[in-house]
Amino acid sequence: MNRIAIEAILVVIAAIAVVMILGRKRKPVIDDSYQAKRKKGNAADYPYLIEEDDGAAAFLSQEKKNNYPYRKKNALFTPAERSFLGVLTQTVGENARIFGKVRVADVVTPKKGVSRSDWQKAFNKISAKHFDFLLCDKNDLSVLCAVELDDRSHQSESRQTRDAFLNGACSAAGVPLVHVPARRTYTVSEIRELVAPHCCVSSALKRKPAPPAPGMDASEKICPKCASVMVRRVARKGPSAGKAFWACSAFPKCRHTEAAKE
């Protein structure tokens, strides 16, 4: 086969190839994205794809809630605590501020100077405990006394162990702790007898010293709250029954008291 024939054959083959290429249909470019299919009405074919307007916000919100398994309690106080709070409020009036469910660790703290491990041990013993009620000075919110409402649960051995520890901790820290037996009804006079030695009224104004009680030396002791004379008394009821304490002679205007040294 001569050279001319070979070139002719190659030209024919090239021509056939060109015809085949030009004759082939061009494949369209397909947008496979979810947004493109959604525009064509095919979003229902992809139920696992969620858009904000299809409830994604609600779904994510529910998922977030499931990560925090908590609920709101109905009330801060039990019915018994609420009943007692009403009487306690009448008892102290405007002489003190009442707080409830106060963590013990927010009132007392381990002493300084102990080792870190001993400090942590002491803190752990009070970190999960709380006082039922706390009476504070109405002006500077300094702690006057803590109040525990003792219901039937305090009769259990574990509860008595807890109460004994709390009594010791408060005594060491200088925080008066008043225990009130839980009952259906209370009287203001009964509660006043229990909290009067500890609940006082502070005043930013300096008062003139009140006249001393009969038989008392005016120079013996002066009230640091109102500058009135302090009178030595003995508690008649409650956990402190029989114990002596100093009371301000300006009572009931000033209810400052101090423990008397034997």
Going through the chain in order, the beta strands assigned E by DSSP cover 96-103, 130-137, 143-150, 177-181, 230-234, 244-248, 257-259
pLDDT for the residue 98: 96
Tokens of 222: 């002066």
pLDDT for the residue 76: 92
How big is the CA angle at 156 (ends 150 and 159), to the nearest 5 degrees?
A: 60
Query: How many angstroms separate the CA atoms of 146 and 136, rounded?
Result: 9
Q: Which of 156, 163, 83 is nearest to 131 (CA)?
A: 163
pLDDT for the residue 45: 54
pLDDT for the residue 199: 75
Residue ranges per domain, the chain?
3-66, 79-195, 200-262
Residue with tokens 């008595």: 160
Query: How many angstroms separate the CA atoms of 230 and 245, rounded?
Result: 10
pLDDT for the residue 150: 87
pLDDT for the residue 32: 59
Contact 229, 212 (CB under 8 A): yes
pLDDT for the residue 1: 59
pLDDT for the residue 116: 94
Listed in sequence order, the residues at least 6 apart from 7 whose beta carbon sits closer than 8 Å to its beta carbon are none
pLDDT for the residue 203: 30
Contact 210, 250 (CB under 8 A): yes
Return per-residue pLDDT of the chain as tens, 262 residues.
567 777 777 777 877 877 777 766 555 555 555 555 555 555 455 555 445 555 666 656 666 667 898 999 999 998 889 989 999 999 998 889 999 999 999 999 999 999 999 999 999 999 999 999 999 999 999 999 999 998 877 777 888 899 999 999 999 999 999 999 888 888 888 898 899 888 753 333 233 444 444 444 444 577 666 656 778 888 887 777 788 888 887 777 777 888 887 6
Tell me phi and psi for residue 174, to 5 degrees: 80, 30
Q: What is the pLDDT of residues 200-238, one digit of tens each?
A: 533 332 334 444 444 444 445 776 666 567 788 888 877
Query: How many angstroms separate the CA atoms of 163 and 169, rounded?
Result: 10
How big is the CA angle at 142 (ends 136 and 145), to the nearest 5 degrees?
A: 50
